[in-house]
């Protein structure tokens, strides 16, 4: 990389830090939520093994809804890196 002045360096550092923070903090919520969903689905499956098929499909659906905030932060991170 060729030599850059201070303003460019600060701009690049801000971009990198911002994208990292957006993705890292934004992934906490979906992580906790999907963990909860998985734990309770496991509980339900252990209690009623004959319902395994129905519980698995509903678990995947709930996962897809719970991870949407993580997907928003992924979008923001992409916007910061590639579009700013």
Partner 1 sequence: MNKRDKIFLSIIFAVYFIAWFISLKHIPPMDEAFSTLGHRWVVNIGGFAFNPATLINAVIVFLIVVWIALSVREMKLVPDRKQSIIEWLFDTFYEMVEDTVPDPRFVRSTFVVAMTIFMFVWVSNMLGSFPGIVFTGWENGKLTEIGIFTDTWQVPTADLNTNLTYALLVFVISHAFAIKAKGFKTWLKGWFEPNPIMMPMNLIGELAKPISHSLRLFGNIAGGAILTYIFSYMVKYFLLPIFLWGFFGLFVGTIQALVFSILAIAYISAQLT
Binding site for partner 1 (CB under 8 A): 60-61, 64-65, 68, 71-72, 74-75, 78, 82-83
Q: Are 19 and 81 in contact (CB under 8 A)?
A: yes
The Cα–Cα gap between 37 and 55 comes to 11
Nearer to partner 1, 10 or 72 (CB): 72
What is the greatest pairwise CA distance in the chain?
A: 65
CB 35, min distance to partner 1, A = 18
CB 27, min distance to partner 1, A = 13
Nearer to partner 1, 8 or 46 (CB): 8
The Cα–Cα gap between 14 and 21 comes to 10
């Amino acid at each position: 990389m060729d030599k850059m002045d201070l303003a460019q360096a600060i701009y690049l550092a801000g971009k990198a830090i911002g994208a990292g923070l957006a993705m890292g903090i934004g992934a906490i919520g979906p992580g906790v939520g999907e963990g909860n969903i998985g734990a309770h689905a496991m509980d339900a499956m252990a209690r009623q093994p004959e319902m395994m098929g129905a519980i698995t499909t509903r678990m995947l659906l709930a996962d897809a809804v719970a991870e949407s905030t993580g997907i928003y932060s992924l979008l923001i991170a992409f916007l910061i890196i590639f579009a700013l």
